[in-house]
Each structure stands twice: as structure tokens, then as C-alpha cells.
């Protein structure tokens, strides 16, 4: 399956450079470029990409607001935030707005293409240490919203166990090993959790788990 990608960055060299790198991948197709958040929204509506690589800071409309609108209107499109700083405060807001992860602009071409593949298949960008650190910092700053406990009550005990492991960055195979169940059963649990909590993907599930204090920063 070919992953359709949109690159949004206000720096022409950056967005065109990323486009060249991704177009060189046999399983990727860059369908559009955008120089600001507003244009990114327009291009998403027109092209319906699988993945948007979104710069945080852009003119006209920043990446956070654009991500919020894309997440609300195009549930099948996932957003990966691009940032220069590993502890950029704006990224906390971006994750809550619906981003599926983030990547540093200084990342290698391999890391960039791997990130697109990971998010395209519905997994979370939790493996890199910088992502884990950011999520933990995000959780430490955020007060658990009142509705979180009510939503958590709708999960079974096993689903809470699975949700906790998702927040720890476990893959379906690793969850299966931890809980001594099949990988397909683990995958089914993950799907039910996302459906019950009305979440887009594993990144959002991890954020929810941190907000619910199922996992606390180490």
C-alpha cells in the first residue's frame, strides 16, 4: 500500500527537501505541499492524504490549529508534527489537538520515512526517547480532566491493562507477550479501547492513560 503524504512547512527548502526524500521511497507518494496551516487544511480536503507532516510554527495559521481542524474533519488523516526543539511547548498542545506524534527536523531520512510508516499503520511514535520524555512532561503538566474517570469506567480490567501497556510504548506483539495472549487478541483489545474512548490512534490512547494517571512519569 502506498502512503499518501502532505508536507506543510513555511520554509520552501525544508518542505521540498522532505518531499524529495519521501518520494524516493517505493511505498510513499507526496501528493501536496503547503506553506502554512490554512493551505494545509485546503490540501487535506482536496487530496485526503494518509499522513501530514506539519511544522509547528507557520504564518497565517500555525500547525497546532491546523492539526486541530484536520483531526476534527478528516479522521483518516494522521498528523506528525515537525519541530526544531525536542521540548517545544507547542507540541504539548499539538498532541492534545489530535497529532499522532512528532519528529525533530534534524532526524535522519530513515527516521523520517520510518515515522511515516509507523503512524500510517496506526501505531504511536513512542519509541524515540525524546518522544517518551515529551509525553511524560506533558502528563506531568496536565491536570486530569473530570470526564476522564467516567470514560475509564467503561473499560474492562483487561482493557485497562492493555491501555497501560500502550502508554508504556508496547507494540501489540509485546502486549501479547506481557499478558500471555495472542497478538490478534491484543490487537482486538487495542481496537476496542480506541472505539470505546473515541480516540484516533495509540498516541491519543497513551495521552489518555497519562491523563488518567494509569501511568506516571518516571
CATH of the domain at 197: 1.10.10.10
207 closest CA partner among 114, 84, 101: 101
- For residues 95 and 203, membership in a common domain is answered with no
Burial of 148 from C-beta contacts in 10 A (0-12 / 13-18 / 19+): middle
- For residues 108 and 177, membership in a common domain is answered with no
CA angle 64, 68, 72 (to 5 degrees): 165
Taking only the tens place, the pLDDT of each residue in 47-61 is 999 999 999 889 999
Q: How many residues does the chain have?
A: 218
Q: What is the CATH number of the domain that holds 18?
A: 3.40.50.2300
Residue 169: left if φ>0, alpha if ψ -120 to 50, beta else—which one?
left
Taking only the tens place, the pLDDT of each residue in 145-189 is 667 778 888 899 999 999 999 888 888 999 999 999 999 999 999
Which residues are CB-contacts of 203 (< 8 A; sequence separation ≥ 6)?
Answer: 95, 99, 100, 101, 124, 125, 126
175 closest CA partner among 156, 152, 159: 159
Taking only the tens place, the pLDDT of each residue in 14-72 is 999 999 999 999 999 999 999 999 999 999 999 999 999 999 889 999 999 999 999 88
Give the count of domains, the chain: 2
- For residues 91 and 197, membership in a common domain is answered with no
Q: Which domain holds residue 104?
A: 3-121
pTM of the model: 0.74
Angstrom CA distances, 35 to 6, 13, 135, stand at 11, 11, 27
- For residues 77 and 150, membership in a common domain is answered with no
- For residues 65 and 22, membership in a common domain is answered with yes
Residue 182: CB atoms within 10 Å: 11
- For residues 56 and 86, membership in a common domain is answered with yes
Q: Minimum mean pLDDT among 85-94, 114-123, 146-155, 182-191: which range?
A: 85-94
135 within some domain: no
112 within some domain: yes
- For residues 31 and 86, membership in a common domain is answered with yes
Amino acid at each position: 500500500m502506498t502512503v499518501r503524504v502532505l508536507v506543510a512547512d513555511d520554509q520552501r527548502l525544508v518542505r521540498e527537501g522532505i518531499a524529495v526524500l519521501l518520494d524516493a521511497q517505493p511505498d510513499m507518494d507526496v501528493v501536496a505541499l503547503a506553506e502554512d496551516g490554512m493551505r494545509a487544511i485546503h490540501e487535506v480536503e482536496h487530496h485526503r492524504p494518509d499522513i501530514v507532516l506539519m511544522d509547528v510554527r507557520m504564518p497565517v495559521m500555525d500547525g497546532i490549529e491546523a492539526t486541530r481542524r484536520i483531526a476534527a474533519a478528516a479522521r483518516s488523516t494522521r498528523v506528525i508534527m515537525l519541530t526544531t526543539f525536542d521540548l517545544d511547548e507547542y507540541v504539548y498542545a499539538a498532541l492534545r489537538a489530535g497529532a499522532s506524534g512528532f519528529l525533530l527536523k534534524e532526524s535522519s531520512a530513515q527516521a523520517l520515512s520510518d515515522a511515516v510508516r509507523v503512524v500510517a499503520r496506526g501505531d504511536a511514535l513512542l519509541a524515540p526517547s525524546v518522544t517518551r520524555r515529551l509525553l511524560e512532561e506533558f502528563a506531568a503538566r496536565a491536570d486530569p480532566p473530570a470526564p476522564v474517570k467516567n470514560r475509564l469506567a467503561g473499560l474492562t480490567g483487561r482493557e485497562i491493562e492493555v491501555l497501560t501497556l500502550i502508554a508504556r510504548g508496547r507494540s501489540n506483539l509485546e502486549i501479547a507477550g506481557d499478558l500471555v495472549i495472542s497478538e490478534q487478541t491484543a490487537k482486538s483489545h487495542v481496537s476496542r479501547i480506541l472505539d470505546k474512548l473515541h480516540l484516533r490512534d495509540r498516541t491519543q490512547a497513551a495521552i489518555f492513560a497519562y491523563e488518567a494517571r494509569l501511568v506516571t512519569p518516571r
